Amino acid sequence: MILRIRSKEGMQRVSCDSGDLFGTVVEKILSHLSPSVNPATITVGSQESTANEPIAGLVYRSVADLGLNHGDIVFVKYQEKEGEQPKEAASVNINTTENVKASIAPPAKELQLDQELEKEEGLIPRKKSSLCRHGDNGMCEYCSPLPPWDKQYHEDRNIKHISFHSHLKQLNESTNKATGGSYIAPLSQPDFRINKRCINGHEPWPRGICSKCQPSAITLQQQNFRMVDHVEFQKSALINEFIECWRYTGTQRFGYMYGTYQRYDATPLGVKAVVEAIYEPPQHDEQDGLTMDMEQVKEEMSKVDQLAETFGLFPVGLIFTDLNDCGAGDGSVFCKRHKDSFFLSSLEVSMAARHQLSHPNVSKFSEQGHYSSKFVTCVISGNLQNEIDIASYQVSTSAEALVDADMITGSTHPSMAFINETTSERYVPEIFYMKRNEYGLTIKENAKPAFPVDYLLLSLTHGFPLESSERKPLFATTADFPWANRQAMGLSQDHHELKRYLYGAATSGDFKELQSKLSNFHLLLYLHSLEVLSPSEWLLLVDAVKTDEDEKLFELISTPGWQTLVMILQES
């Protein structure tokens, strides 16, 4: 006879005889379940709601004794052992994926902004058109508001991609609202990895494969939505100071951008990344490249992330320069990135995808609880007029999945991504992309061995705040105090620099000046690293910078920590 076992891992079938002890059945069940199951916590029952009978009392009773017949369902509940490493080689990879997810440590809650946008309908209102034949209070098909994903509206305004929330609403409309059935999560992060925990009763890859665990063929298409629509740099001085490094040394530079996400009104339900500060991790710069030790960078950035969080900032993107002087002597640079060459090279796409994977966007509409990322990638390079310009991009969810499954690497041609070959670790399915051939026909092309990275790119707009905007930049000063990790430029953060920058303002009694001087991201990071201020004094300083109120500053100046700092400045 066969018993069906229903657990949270799905349905399994166990064959046994009616005279068998229930304990032997349990052993068979355990072999089907993941090894991290704690056998002491297993409870069973004939209904899902009543499956709370411990197996301890049942193991010595026979199957027939329990009243189980051929085809009966046994509901099983259990808890998993914590921190247990599996012993079987076959399941090693199961846990690595779980570990990866754990190490990402997504913030538990969705962004406030996402919650707000989700509640809004985002309808695009329309005025009465010439086709309307009704009064002012009426409404017809020509003047009823458009949904936020309306294609024509976006085309008219030259918006290349719809915003994430418009896309989400569009999907939700078709999957949930129209059918009226049970709720299905509209989003699902694509996963191109081969399932090494296939339950179809064969050995895992590379020793066995079946149609279920094998990833299906991938057809690349340009993604029609983007997670962030606009990147706004709070101050142009921020970019200027960042490029300064190239101006002095001629080498390229990489930095992480810190800021927040805000509403963007130019597109329906749009999101913009507002950049308040740039932090350059330790790196080795060259004229035609840059190298970072990612271990070191991650360690340092996690510290900076924590400090930035006290100001309400988090990493919103990365930025790097790719500048080559024309030699004309008027500051013009080569236009390297344009439609005839490339926008983001395959290496940069991989890097962007990796960063997007490590900064997932929490979304309750996704099966996995997170979907894509709001992390942006900015390039400073020459535009068509040979001027220095910024370009912002994101990579699509399929790019994230391709990189996550380790399917693509960079290639010698910057516009092409190279597809890796199948190994015992990974299975690379067929990858196709659609293109127009020389006869103007749309054809499906096999992407191997390489395909254009344009299929993975999303372009964003960028800009600086309008003069009229009331949002003030969080930090008043960007330049004067040297930025961190600029030893290669001959700038270092030390007591000497600190005295030059701060001593005058700290002793003059001009609080406005002191306030604006203290309001400097890199100075604050350096002050924190000095550990002169106690934690409470540090919070006071953060408040003083954030709130722009004199009282906090008065309070700070009278603290012993601040007095010590002034003393150090005096003596150095």
The answer to the question of residue 409 lying near another protein (CB under 8 A) is yes
Residue nearer to another protein on the CB measure, 288 or 467 = 288
The nearest distance, CB 55 to another protein, in angstroms, is 47
Cα-based distances in Å from 238 to 18, 163, 241: 76, 27, 5
The answer to the question of residue 454 lying near another protein (CB under 8 A) is yes
Identify residues 306-325 at the interface with another protein (CB under 8 A).
320, 322, 324
Of the residues 174, 200, 341, 469, which one makes contact with another protein according to CB under 8 A: 341
Residue nearer to another protein on the CB measure, 234 or 461 = 461
Q: What is the dihedral of CA 538, 306, 396, 165, to 10 degrees?
A: -60
Cα-based distances in Å from 263 to 116, 268, 273, 406: 10, 10, 9, 34
The nearest distance, CB 483 to another protein, in angstroms, is 19
268 touches 145 (CB < 8 A):
no
The answer to the question of residue 347 lying near another protein (CB under 8 A) is yes
Could you say which DSSP state residue 419 is in? E
The answer to the question of residue 291 lying near another protein (CB under 8 A) is yes
Which tokens hold the place of 541? 């300083």
Which tokens hold the place of 72? 């009966």
Residue nearer to another protein on the CB measure, 388 or 540 = 388
End-to-end CA distance of the chain: 86
Q: What is the maximum span of the chain, computed from C-alpha positions, in angstroms?
A: 94
The nearest distance, CB 486 to another protein, in angstroms, is 18
In DSSP notation, 3-49 reads EEEEETTEEEEEE--TTSBHHHHHHHHHHHS-TTB-GGG-EEESSST
Of the residues 164, 192, 246, 433, which one makes contact with another protein according to CB under 8 A: 433
Give the interface size with another protein as a residue count (CB under 8 A): 62
Of the residues 99, 221, 529, 572, which one makes contact with another protein according to CB under 8 A: 221
Dist. CA 272–CA 229, nearest whole Å: 6
Site string for another protein, 473-512 (x = CB under 8 A): ----------------------------------------
Dist. CA 7–CA 36, nearest whole Å: 14
Residue nearer to another protein on the CB measure, 448 or 546 = 448
- Stretch of 81-89, 97-105, 431-439, 475-483 lying at the interface with another protein (CB under 8 A): 431-439
The answer to the question of residue 411 lying near another protein (CB under 8 A) is yes
Of the residues 166, 260, 267, 345, which one makes contact with another protein according to CB under 8 A: 345
In DSSP notation, 214-243 reads SPPPEEE---SEES--EEEES-HHHHHHHH
Q: Which amino acid is residue 240, in one-letter code?
A: N
The answer to the question of residue 410 lying near another protein (CB under 8 A) is yes
The answer to the question of residue 422 lying near another protein (CB under 8 A) is no
Of the residues 336, 364, 448, 499, which one makes contact with another protein according to CB under 8 A: 336
In DSSP notation, 160-183 reads -SEEHHHHHHHHHIIIIITT-SS-
Find out whether the peptide bond into 206 is cis, omega within 30 degrees of 0: yes
The answer to the question of residue 197 lying near another protein (CB under 8 A) is no
357 touches 312 (CB < 8 A):
no
The answer to the question of residue 288 lying near another protein (CB under 8 A) is yes
Which tokens hold the place of 242? 């960042």
Element spanning 258, H or E: strand 254-264
The nearest distance, CB 464 to another protein, in angstroms, is 18
503 touches 487 (CB < 8 A):
no
- Stretch of 101-109, 213-221, 473-481, 513-521 lying at the interface with another protein (CB under 8 A): 213-221
Contacts of 551 (CB under 8 A, 6+ apart): none
Residue nearer to another protein on the CB measure, 176 or 420 = 420
351 touches 410 (CB < 8 A):
no
The nearest distance, CB 355 to another protein, in angstroms, is 10
The answer to the question of residue 436 lying near another protein (CB under 8 A) is yes
The answer to the question of residue 335 lying near another protein (CB under 8 A) is yes
The nearest distance, CB 436 to another protein, in angstroms, is 6
The nearest distance, CB 160 to another protein, in angstroms, is 7
Of the residues 107, 145, 331, 449, which one makes contact with another protein according to CB under 8 A: 449
Bridge partners, 44 (sequence order): 53, 76
Burial class (CB in 10 A: 0-12, 13-18, 19+), 323: buried
Of the residues 192, 254, 371, 483, which one makes contact with another protein according to CB under 8 A: 254
The nearest distance, CB 335 to another protein, in angstroms, is 5
The answer to the question of residue 327 lying near another protein (CB under 8 A) is yes
Q: What is the dihedral of CA 559, 560, 563, 567, to 10 degrees?
A: -170
Of the residues 24, 43, 175, 219, which one makes contact with another protein according to CB under 8 A: 219
The answer to the question of residue 289 lying near another protein (CB under 8 A) is yes
94 touches 34 (CB < 8 A):
yes
Which tokens hold the place of 122? 């985002």
The nearest distance, CB 284 to another protein, in angstroms, is 9
Which tokens hold the place of 287? 């004229």
Three-state DSSP state, 370: strand
Identify residues 10-69 at the interface with another protein (CB under 8 A).
none
Burial class (CB in 10 A: 0-12, 13-18, 19+), 277: buried
Of the residues 388, 457, 474, 544, which one makes contact with another protein according to CB under 8 A: 457
Residue nearer to another protein on the CB measure, 28 or 336 = 336
The answer to the question of residue 426 lying near another protein (CB under 8 A) is no
**Binding residues for another protein, per CB under 8 A?**
160, 219-222, 252, 254, 286-294, 297, 320, 322, 324, 326-329, 334-336, 338-343, 345-348, 351, 354, 384, 393, 409-414, 416, 418, 420, 433-436, 442, 449-450, 452, 454-455, 457, 459
